[in-house]
Structure 1
Amino acid sequence: MGSTGSGSFTDYSGTPPSESGNGMAGGASGTDRCLQAFTVGLEEVAQSEYYDKLRRLPNKGETLKILLDGRLFAVNEQGMKVGALPTSHNYLAGCLKDGFTYSGIITMATEQPVPRVSADFVADDA
């Protein structure tokens, strides 16, 4: 078995910016991923600081932020980790280092069959 892709150079990221500052990663559509809204199902919710301390899930509609603490986490207003972002969102680490911040809202929280939380996030206005 091998990896999948289109077989094009656009499958690979890493095109550095030009002198004008206009560069984009390979495969990019011309939009800045750091500015795109996204929906995510959080990982490790049952092992999170929030669930461990409070023994419950946050409510639908509660707000979240994204924190880089070795890994990307969704945290509540008090800074408690609610869950980890999947590694498919690791590009956000670079966005955070570049000064972007993100606000989210919990769209789903359920304990059955296992604790799960989903949220929608948007980049905050700079």
Structure 2
Amino acid sequence: MGSSGTGSFGDLKGSSESQMCLRSIKDDWLEEVARCDFFKNQGGVPSIMHSVHIHNNIVNGRIVVVSTSTDEIIGLLPSTYSYLLGCMKKGHQYMGTVVYSVNTPIPKVMVNIDAV
């Protein structure tokens, strides 16, 4: 017996492609924060309520979250959100805010991001 899926977004949890693209990202940690430009150039993580957006292009094979005010990369989205690249190619844009951040012992940033 083989799979009955069609290979489209609709196969993922029964959602249509447009529903996937409109899903919010809530309370998710960014990856590689200490290695990104914002941390290096600003000497720390952004404050809570700092405005962010998802960059329209991938950087080094990953989707990145960028500071709206400085245009510096804050961190990488977990790979579970790779489907957003297809959404952005269709014109979707994503903005949000930092909801938690800490410099020590390991720099961490948590974001909420919504489709706009």
TM-score (norm 2): 0.83
1:62 CA displacement: 0.7
What is the rounded CA distance, in whole Å, between the counterparts of 1:28 and 1:9 in structure 2? 15
Q: Which runs of structure 2 are paired with 1:63-82 in the superposition (5 Å)? A: 63-67=51-55, 68-70=57-59, 71-77=62-68, 78-82=70-74
Which is further off, 55-64 or 24-33? 24-33
Q: How many residues align?
A: 108
The 1:112/1:13 distance shift into structure 2, 3 A limit, reads farther
Which 5+ residue runs of structure 1 have no aligned equivalent?
1-7, 16-23
Identical amino acids, percent of aligned pairs: 25
Of residues 91, 98, 103 in structure 1, which corresponds to 2:83? 91
Of residues 29, 33, 39 in structure 2, which corresponds to 1:45? 33
Q: Which of structures 1 and 2 has the bigger CA Rg?
A: 1
Which 5+ residue runs of structure 2 have no aligned equivalent?
none
Runs of 4+ displaced beyond 4 Å: none
1:28 CA displacement: 3.5
What is the rounded CA distance, in whole Å, between the counterparts of 1:103 and 1:37 in structure 2? 10
TM-score (norm 1): 0.77
Secondary structure at the aligned position of 1:25 is classed as: helix
What is the rounded CA distance, in whole Å, between the counterparts of 1:73 and 1:65 in structure 2? 9
Q: Quote the residue 1:5 is aligned against.
A: none
Q: Does 1:107 align with 2:99?
A: yes
